[in-house]
Every structure is written in C-alpha cells, then in structure tokens.
A and B are shown apart, each in its own frame.
Chain A
Amino acid sequence: MDKKETKVLIIIPAYNEEENIAAVIEHLNSKILAGVFAEFSAVDYLIINDGSRDSTLEICGAQNFCYLNLPINLGIGGAVQAGYMFAKRNGYDIAVQMDGDGQHDISYLNDMIAPLLEDKADIVIGSRFLEKEGFQSSGIRRMGIKFLSFLIRLTTNRKIMDVTSGYRAVNKRFINIYVDDYPTDYPEPEAIVTAIMNKGRIMEVPVQMHAREGGSSSITFGKSVYYMIKVTLAILVCRLSYGIRR
C-alpha cells in the first residue's frame, strides 16, 4: 500500500476521561501539525465518548474536537466497535485504537502502521513487554497477562506477549471483520482470538507506555477476579465457537 493513498483513523475510546482527554488530543494535534504524518493521505482522530458521566463531552464540544457521542455507556468494546463502524463508512484504510488516558504514545504510530503498509501483518499490537521499557504495570497484573498469553498460545498456538494492550493498528480487512464481530466487556484478549480465527497475521511492535496521568483505571482490584474468569471463559468460548464453524 502506498502511504500517499492511505487514510488512517485513530480511534480513542473515552469514558470519564475529563482529566486526560484534552492533553492526549493536544499532543496528537501537535504531531499532526509538525508534519509527522504528512506522507499519508489523511490521519484523523475520533474520540468515542462512551456515555461519560463527567465533563468529557463538554470538553470535546468546547475544544471542537472530532468525536462521536454514545448516549449510553456500552463499555470499551462497543465504543471501539463504533469507531470501526465510522472507519468503514468513511473509507479509512487503517484504523488505530489507543486509550484516551495518556498511556499510549502517538509517537509510535509510524512504527505500528509500517507492517500494515508492507502487508506483513493484518493486526499490529503495541507491546510493552518486547523490550521491557517504560511503564510495565504491577507485578500481579503482569502475572495475569502472562496467564492469558499462555492460554491464547495453548488454544491457538500463537505467541503474543502483551495480550491486554489496547494500542493496536488494523488494516481494512480487519476493520470490516471487527465491525461485525467485536467482543464486548473486556475485549482485548478475545479480539486477538477472533483475529487469529479469521486467519489474521498478528505482529507485535515494541512501544513504551506511560502510567496513566489522571483519573482511575477501569479495572479495579475487586473487578480483577471477575476480569480473569470472564476473559478466560471468553477466550475458550471464542476458540470453540470458531472451531465448530470451520
């Protein structure tokens, strides 16, 4: 794919991110203005306000950001999927999803898109564990991630280190697949299985992540047990249902 003919959409799901969203977008806009992505036909961003109860929507409106407003909170899966729907309808070639809390650095965008342009991968995951630099998450969470990574390896025979990373880039084929079939609730590991079962080529690219700047993570300690059980079951069910369909 030629860079000059490539339209890129950056999908930024935001739920109660009034403290972070403005900084994330300003950083993004500064890169766009500096011409970092000038070689592309277009690099646009789209915030998905997922029924936030704080002033995220007001900030987006006042600052004239580009955003979708979902009237009901769908959870991150539904919000990201709305972004993919928008990407499909507006003819984007590549969709990148990154969190609205400042964890993901837009500077890596070119690295993440490169394998898609060269047609070496269908999905690129920004991984914090390949070079073990930057924010690495707490020990107990890393154990959980290792377990999920092991589970995906066991069920699909594919090795992916950072299965919970929400920093991803996908090509047109997977924009279309994710519009029809994107998991809800805690979608990141399950979306990988969906991709593998659709014969997607997945590549990890090393990125550094930051600890979130403000607000709080959507996954509290109390929810983490539920998270692990739900995601484990979801991976197994997803693997099984595709196994039957084939």
Chain B
Amino acid sequence: MIPSSLRITLIIAVICYFIIILYFLKQRALNLKYTLLWLLSGAVLGILVIYPDLLSHIIRILGIEDNMNGLFIICIAFMLMIMMALTSIASRQNVKIRQLVQEIGILDKRIRELEQKQKQERKNVGN
C-alpha cells in the first residue's frame, strides 16, 4: 500500500498539475489538441492515487512487486508517449515549414518579374 501521507502529497501534486494545464489553456499558451495526452495521463495518475487498490491490482498483473516502482513506470511510460508525440509534431511542422519556404521562393521570383515588367511599362509610357 501507498502510505497515506504520500497519497495526500500525490493528490495535491495532481491537482497542481491540472491547475497549471488549465491555466495555460486559458491563456492560450497551449493548444488543446497537444494537451490531450497531458490531460489523459493526469487523469490516469489521479485515479490511481485516489483508488490505490486499483493501482496495486494493475501492478500485480504487470508483474511488478512494489507499488512505488509501478507508479514510476506508469509515469515514465506516459512521458515517453508524450515525447514521441512531440517528435512527431516537430517532424510534421518541419514538412510544413519546408513547403512554406519553397512557396516563398517561388513567390519571390514572381514578384521580381512583375516589378521588372512594371518598370519596363513605366519606361514605355515615359517615352
């Protein structure tokens, strides 16, 4: 079993965690789409801390002896998932930036050509 003093600490920690996420969401400093995984992991941790019997049950099924170790492993698993999601987001943004840069290059050439044409026309009018 998890000692009750630790349970209280963990419950406070999870509450703080949610407050911080909600604060960022309210400030629009976080995109809801990207916080879904954070909210999910917070919810799972919250449930496990509130119902420790559930935690020890799941942990036995996984074959882990110690409750605290189980909690750590679950935390690490969520962190890995979030990091993988971040890498995938970064990769997709990389593709989008590449497309934008290519588009800018092509537009830049069109603008230069238009400017040249305009200059030519002005000259012709001047004559």
Count of chain B residues with Cβ under 8 Å from any Cβ of A? 10
* Interface residue A223 (Cβ < 8 Å from any Cβ of B): no
A68 to B101, CA, bound (A): 11
Question: Is A67 in contact with B98, judged by CB distance below 8 angstroms?
Answer: no
Q: Which residues of B contact A85 (CB under 8 A)?
A: 102-103, 106
- Selected from A48, A69, A89, A184, the residue in CB contact (under 8 A) with B98 is A184
Query: How far, in angstroms, from A72 to B103 measured CA to CA in the complex?
Result: 12
Chain A: CB-nearest residue to B116 = A64
List, in ascending order, chain A residues with CB within 8 A of B105's CB: 48, 68-71, 82
Report the bound CA distance from A82 to B101 in whole Å.
9
- B86 in the interface (beta carbon within 8 A): no
- Asked if B108 is an interface residue, CB under 8 A from chain A, the answer is yes
On whether the beta carbons of A78 and B102 are closer than 8 Å, the reply is: yes
- In angstroms, how far is the closest chain B Cβ from the Cβ of A97? 15
* A24 on the B face (CB < 8 A): no
Q: Enumerate A48-92 residues with CB–CB distance to B below 8 Å.
A: 48, 67-72, 74, 78, 81-82, 85-86, 89
Asked if A72 and B101 make an inter-chain contact with CB atoms under 8 angstroms apart, the answer reads yes
Closest to B97 in A: A72
| A71 contacts across to B, CB distance below 8 A | 101, 104-105
Interchain CB contact under 8 A, B109 and A68: yes
Note all chain A residues with C-beta closer than 8 A to B109.
67-69, 86
- Are A82 and B102 CB-contacts (below 8 A) given A68-B108, A69-B108? yes
Chain A residues near B103 (CB-CB < 8 A) = 85
Q: Which residues of B contact A89 (CB under 8 A)?
A: 106
Contacts of B108 in A (CB 8 A): 68-69
- Taking a contact as CB atoms closer than 8 A, the residue among A74, A78, A86 that contacts B106 in the complex is A86
Which residues of B are in contact with A by a Cβ distance under 8 Å? 97-98, 101-106, 108-109
Q: What are 17 pairs between A and B in contact, CB < 8 Å?
A: A48-B105, A67-B109, A68-B108, A68-B109, A69-B105, A69-B108, A70-B102, A70-B105, A71-B104, A72-B101, A74-B102, A78-B101, A78-B102, A81-B102, A82-B102, A85-B102, A86-B106
Q: What would 14 more interface pairs be, CB under 8 Å, given A78-B101, A78-B102?
A: A67-B109, A68-B105, A68-B106, A69-B109, A70-B102, A71-B101, A71-B104, A72-B97, A72-B101, A74-B98, A82-B102, A82-B106, A85-B102, A85-B106
